[in-house]
Structure 1
Amino acid sequence: MKLKIAGGRVIDPAQKLDKVVDLYIDDGAVVALGEQPENFVAEEV
């Protein structure tokens, strides 16, 4: 299932990342943060 989480807060202390971005998930794995991948069509937002 392809899923877009709009405006999710991402926190990753290892990369010193703490920001609000769109997340793109495919089959339970994050495939992108921020910009939508080419040809990605979310089944749910």
Structure 2
Amino acid sequence: IVGGGIRSPQQAAERARWADAVVVGNFFEGEQNLALLGEFVDAVHSAR
């Protein structure tokens, strides 16, 4: 499990290559960042 400081889909994908879980919480508290959720999901899924 890895988390903390992940602010882009690319960073999430890099960590997903070796981690079993990627925790991205605070980044999505803002309304404007919530729109990026799909990009994060796609990046993590494609990294595996």
Give the shorter-chain TM-score range: under 0.3
TM-score normalised according to structure 2 size? 0.21
**Whose RCO is larger (CA < 8 A, sep 6+)?**
2
Task: From the CA coordinates, give the structure whose radius of gyration is larger.
Answer: 1
